Amino acid sequence: MQISGAQMVIEAFIAEGVDTVFGYPGGAIMNVYDEIYKQNKFHHILNRHEQASIHAAEGYAKASGKVGVAMITSGPGFTNAVTGLADAYMDSIPLVVVSGQVPMSLIGTDAFQEIDAVGISRSCTKHNYLVTDAKDLPRILKEAFYIARTGRPGPVHVDIPKDVTAQIEEFDYNIKLDLETYKPHTNGNPRQIKKAIEAIANASRPLFYLGGGIINANAAYEVREFIQKSGIPAVETFMARGVLSYDDELLVGMLGMHGSYASNMAMSETDLVIALGARFDDRVTGKLSEFAKNADVIHVDIDPASISKLVNADFPIVGDVKNVVNDMLTQIEKIDALKYESWRETIKNFNALHPLAFHEDSERIKPQWVIKRVGELLGDDANISTDVGQHQMWAGQFYPFTRPRQFISSSGLGTMGFGFPAAIGVKAACPEKISINFTGDGSILMNVQELMTAVEKKIPVINIILNNNFLGMVRQWQTLFYDKRHSETDLSVQPDFVKLSEAFGGVGYRVHTKEEFDTALKDAIEKNVVAFIEVIVHRMENVMPMVPAGGSLFNMMLLEKKESK
C-alpha cells in the first residue's frame, strides 16, 4: 500500500506488537504524532522530559522482556534523550528510539533545532540510522527491532527527517532480513561445552558468577535448574538479582563493591569461575590482578567482544546463555553435587563470620529497615525500581527478590533520575504488580516532573524517598576517603515532598517511625495513585560491606561488630 513515511512508522509499530510508546512531540516529529492521534492500536504515554521517555521505555523493556519504544523530536529533544540511550547501551536494554530531524534540504545548515543526532548517538547505541528516503523505512524499522532484541540487546536509534515522514511510498513489512555483517552466534560450541563440563566435574571449589545477561536471555529458570542439580554455590551481580530466589540455599549473595562478605570471599577462594552472561565489570571484580586469581574461568556470553576483554577465559563459549545452559543440562550427570559439600560448608562459615546486617537505631529509622520491611509486606507482589546511590545498593542487598525482571535499576551508567520514569514504564508493562521506586532526596528531584505523567495517565507508582538530606553515596566517600570534607553534598535545603506530590495531584506522606511507615505504605496502595512516601532516615548511615575503589574483593570495609539485626 502507498502511505506516508509517518504512517509507516505507525504500521511498523503495530506489526511489531508494540502496545506502549513513550515520548514527547515537537516540530520535526509532528507528522508521526499526527498519525498517532489517528490510531488506536497502541497507547502513548506523554512524559514531561525526553530523558524520562527513554528511562520509561527502559523500565518497560526490563520488566516485560519486550523492546521498549520511545519517540522524540530533533535538537534539544534528542540531546535530552542521550543520557537514556547511553544508560540502555551500558545495561544492554532493547530499545527502538525514533527521533525527528530537520528536512533533508536543511541538514548541515545549522537550521532551527538541528543537531547531528546520528553522530551523537553512534557511541551510545547498538546501531543507528539516518533515513534519507521513505522507501527504506519499512526495512530500516524492521531491522531496528531485530537488532535491538537479538544478540546482546541494546538501543537502536532511527533518525527521520521531517520531509521523509511526509513522502508517499510503498509499504511492505513482509521483508526477509539478511544482515550480512550482523549474525549473532546463539549456539555454543559443543566441544567447548564438553570441556567446560569436564572442568566443573574436576573442580573442588566451583562458583557460579551470574550476570544480567541471564535475565536478558530469559534463561533464569534453566540456570536455576542447573545450579540445583549441580549443587554449586552461586553469586549474583547487581543486575542479576532475582535470577535465583533470595531463599535459595545455593545463593551466596550479591558480589562486588557492596557485595556480601561471603560472596566476595567465595570468589577469592574459588578454583573455577562459571560466568554466565556477565562482563566482569570493575565494580564486581575490584583489583583485576587479584580477582579469582587461583581459578580457571568458564565464560559464556552472547557477545564475543566481552569474552576475555578483562579477565582471560580458559573456556570461552560464545552463545545465548539459555541455549548453552540447556546443552550443559544434557551432561549434568557428569557432575557430582556431593563432591562440593565441604566447599558449601566453607561458604556458610564465611556468611556466619560476617553476615549481611545493619545496626538498628532507637531514634531514627535505618534505610535498610525500610527496604526489608517493604519486602516483608509486599515481597513478590511488587516490582522494584531504584534511582542511583546508597538506597540503590541497599535495595540490592536487602530486598527479598524471588524472580527475574523484578528488579529494575541503572547499573552501568549509574543514572540519577532513572528510577521514577523507569517505574512508570514498569507499571505500564506489569499493571498487576505494585510498582515501587526506592529513591533518595537527591535523585528524586532529577525527574520529578514525571509526577505529572503519572497523574495524567493514572499510573500509581509509589516513590519511597529515603531522605538523609545528603547526596548520600558521595557523602559516604567523602567521609571515608576525603577526611569528612563534605563538599557540596549537604541537601538540607529541600522542598516539602508531601506538598510537592499533592501539588501535582498525587498523595504524600512524611514518616518518622516504623508504625507511620506501615500505615503510609498501606494507604498509598489503597489510594492507587502516584505517591511520595518521605522517610526521614539516619543521616550518616554507610553502605557496608565496601571494597574501596581499585581494592581487592577480599579487602573489605565491614560493618563494625555490635549487636546487629
Annotated catalytic residue within 162, 322, 372, 427: 162
Listed in sequence order, the residues at least 6 apart from 40 whose beta carbon sits closer than 8 Å to its beta carbon are none
Decide if pLDDT at 562 tops 80.
no
Listed in sequence order, the residues at least 6 apart from 344 whose beta carbon sits closer than 8 Å to its beta carbon are 231, 233, 250
E-state strands within 124-183: 127-130, 155-161, 168-170
- pLDDT per residue as tens digits for the range 485-528: 999 999 999 999 999 999 999 999 999 999 999 999 999 999 99
Separation CA 172–CA 265 (nearest Å) = 57
Decide if pLDDT at 312 tops 50.
yes
Average pLDDT value for residue range 275-304: 97
Query: Is 345 labeled as catalytic in the residue annotation?
Result: no
Annotated catalytic residue within 113, 228, 449, 494: 113
Half-sphere CA count of 432, side-chain side, radius 13 A? 2
Average pLDDT of the chain? 97
Which H/E stretch holds residue 251? strand 251-254
Listed in sequence order, the residues at least 6 apart from 191 whose beta carbon sits closer than 8 Å to its beta carbon are none
- 2-170 fold: Rossmann fold (3.40.50)
Residue 287, Cβ neighbours under 10 Å: how many?
Answer: 17
CATH code at 190-353: 3.40.50.1220
Query: Is 473 labeled as catalytic in the residue annotation?
Result: yes
Annotated catalytic residue within 39, 112, 170, 341: 112
Residue 126 contacts residue 156 (beta carbons within 8 Å) = yes
Separation CA 365–CA 8 (nearest Å) = 54
DSSP state of 260: -
β-bridge pairing 407-408 and 531-536: unpaired
Query: Is 162 labeled as catalytic in the residue annotation?
Result: yes
Looking at the chain, the whole-number percentage of residues with pLDDT higher than 90 is 98
The alpha-carbon radius of gyration of the chain (Å, integer) is 24
Residue 440 contacts residue 370 (beta carbons within 8 Å) = no
Bond into 545 cis (ω within 30): yes
Question: Which pLDDT belongs to residue 155?
Answer: 98
Question: Which pLDDT belongs to residue 560?
Answer: 86
Confidence of residue 363 (pLDDT cuts 50, 70, 90): confident
Confidence of residue 565 (pLDDT cuts 50, 70, 90): very low
DSSP state of 379: G
Spatial strand order of the sheet with 234-236 comes to 251-254, 234-236, 206-210, 272-276, 296-301, 315-318
CATH (one of 3.60.21.10, 3.30.930.10, 3.30.460.20, 3.40.50.970) for 367-536? 3.40.50.970
Confidence of residue 564 (pLDDT cuts 50, 70, 90): very low
Annotated catalytic residue within 239, 473, 546, 556: 473
Decide if pLDDT at 563 tops 70.
no
Q: What share of the chain is helix, strand, coil (3-state, %, to 5)?
A: 45, 20, 40
The reply to whether domains 2-170 and 367-536 share a CATH topology is yes
Separation CA 336–CA 371 (nearest Å) = 38
Average pLDDT value for residue range 176-195: 96
- pLDDT per residue as tens digits for the range 145-173: 999 999 999 999 999 999 999 999 999 99
Annotated catalytic residue within 11, 16, 50, 236: 50
Q: Where exactly are the structural domains of the chain? A: 2-170, 190-353, 367-536
Decide if pLDDT at 406 tops 80.
yes
Query: Is 406 labeled as catalytic in the residue annotation?
Result: no
Q: Is 103 exposed, middle or buried (0-12, 13-18, 19+ CB in 10 A)?
A: middle
Q: 3-class secondary structure for 201-230?
A: HHCCCEEEEECCHHHHCCCHHHHHHHHHHH
